[in-house]
Structure 1
């Protein structure tokens, strides 16, 4: 019996673990990746010490898929748990925002609004079903449950920084899940959040998985983007790359829905329209290795609408700077419309905009302490989960039975993240109708 030939677009977490599962069915698997390394948004870059991730990551205590894969790859001892210290920059002031007590002391809100905010978060944490939230926006939900001041002072600037002009259209379900996720990362007494990070970076997990796939006969073709997918007259698919044209029986696309619509112009027009109708925000992430620390906080959410970034992540306030040659590692993250001129600006221009704002937030800190900086861009980094998003998501099955879509935009009500990407990849044989075997 001839092994089924399966192509996978993308060597990120979903594509790699999908290949891992599909090889178990006896299929022949080839992954096509446009970048020069594996990992997708979890790819690694060198530093003065241990490698760093191009885009910051951590996991929550509720994220079971990452520890499961780490154990399978023999890396479970590298996964460690840390107590983060978080803050909120709002109304021109940096305020601790780690514990419930910090919320009660949040003087950017009146005492009554703080109480309403706390009760709102508590009710959100206890909510089990999200269906009735799908018909309203996050703004409508927050203003009804916590009041307009809570939305305008806290949530609107954060949503605006993440979703731009779509901020007031974001669904209540998306916000509910974010609140639920953060509460699930706290300890048994609900007062201390715990975050997980892997020694050597999460990229090590995917590099190890890639090596395992190759040992088992899987192929990973790096710097080899898929250019076009067509149905073959003789059956199956023709996949075109810079290396030429190759026939496959099945294809799993882990790219964005819009990317699949572009790669497969022969798909029915109504389905392609559904794929391209989903919006994504891009991301600009400035990674800096510095002589000086910014603050004592790991994660700072910036609720200032004029600030060009939404998060300041000082990685070396979670892990010791000694791992990175004694330098302080800081990420500045901005979600942005991919058509915004800033997304297309040069790295030096973006860095200047970011550092001007950072020195404004932290006057005692100087850009002179930056010893190395690198800017990373991701075009389809964050699906725009508007009200009613569940009904907008395309199905995994496409009008072409040979093609299956497994994209970040299909993860809901959970948001994007390693845990959910891995969970989706684990389901690849089921999603492709191959759970019973991969022969043809």
Structure 2
């Protein structure tokens, strides 16, 4: 408000901050995060051909080629110290490791590793975040007249904060002729929408979609998907840098690398890659010195 003036703040920045962080938190977001967000953003976009699935498939293949194992549908139940190593407990059974890098949320880390010191666990639990929810529609025709990304201010009354017509950026012929539209929102982690299925969320979003295009009809929809994550957007409050957990936890051999640790940058794939490289280098460095 001090930087841009009352009018610009009220008309532009306040609604966008409310949409991203919610009415309960938008006033707490600090200027360092805003600076980083504006500094890094450009009008130039890149696209990984094949999308994130192709990226993940290549990553899994690379891990396998180097002798690693990717275990799907194997949720971690606990991480505990045992005989100088770390025991990772899953439904498939326990596995012992010299070092463990957890890429989950700070709250999940606190729950999974009960042997962490109480004061450290309390610091993890004090970090707050928003969840993210997206409805993906495959349509038989375009929804908008060439628009790629539409930000929806929180005070416009639509049930989502952003609409992205992906195929106005990457043509529909890359997706079998489907026109792909994403309706996304940031929500509190306990919001009831996370328990919806795709059809119910579509019916909730449908009036908002018709505000974007009054001619829209459900018959245009070929397929629907819904994706949600209750930990998606860390909330960077005042003096947030003092609250960021170190990559190395107090539990020997256990490391944490999450979106809460890329501050002041906003969450994003580029920062996840950079963070992954950083924590891997630290783990390897600690290992070469005789202890993870």
**TM class by smaller structure:** over 0.9
Matched, 1:396 2:273: no
Paired with 1:272 and 1:243, the residues of 2 have a C-alpha distance of 27
Matched, 1:376 2:227: yes
SS state at 2:25 partner: helix
| C-alpha displacement of 1:348 | 2.6
Query: Deviations along 1:401-427, whole A, 9 cap, x unmatched?
Result: 211111111111111111111111112
Counterpart pick for 1:255 among 97, 104, 107: 104
Change (3 A) 1:346 1:427: same
Greater relative CO (CA pairs within 8 A, separation 6+): 1
TM-score, with length taken from structure 2: 0.93
- 1:225-236 superposed matches below 5 A: 225-232=75-82, 234-236=83-85
SS state at 2:232 partner: strand
**Would the aligned equivalents of 1:359 and 1:367 in 2 still touch at CA under 8 Å?**
no
| C-alpha displacement of 1:304 | 4.0
**Would the aligned equivalents of 2:197 and 2:226 in 1 still touch at CA under 8 Å?**
no
| C-alpha displacement of 1:271 | 0.4
Matched, 1:161 2:19: yes
- 1:2-401 superposed matches below 5 A: 143-164=1-22, 165-182=24-41, 185=42, 193-232=43-82, 234-295=83-144, 296-305=146-155, 306-401=157-252
Paired with 2:260 and 2:183, the residues of 1 have a C-alpha distance of 24
Q: How many residues are paired up? A: 288
Query: Deviations along 1:201-254, whole A, 9 cap, x unmatched?
Result: 13323311211221221111111111011111x211111001111221111111
Stretches of structure 2 lacking an aligned partner (at least 5 in a row): none
Change (3 A) 1:435 1:231: closer
Report the RMSD for the aligned CA atoms in angstroms.
1.7
Paired with 1:297 and 1:217, the residues of 2 have a C-alpha distance of 44
**Would the aligned equivalents of 1:312 and 1:333 in 2 still touch at CA under 8 Å?**
yes
Change (3 A) 1:202 1:364: same
| C-alpha displacement of 1:199 | 1.8
Aligned to 1:414: 265
Paired with 1:245 and 1:359, the residues of 2 have a C-alpha distance of 51
**Would the aligned equivalents of 1:337 and 1:343 in 2 still touch at CA under 8 Å?**
no
Deviates further, 339-348 or 413-422 = 339-348
Matched, 1:429 2:287: no
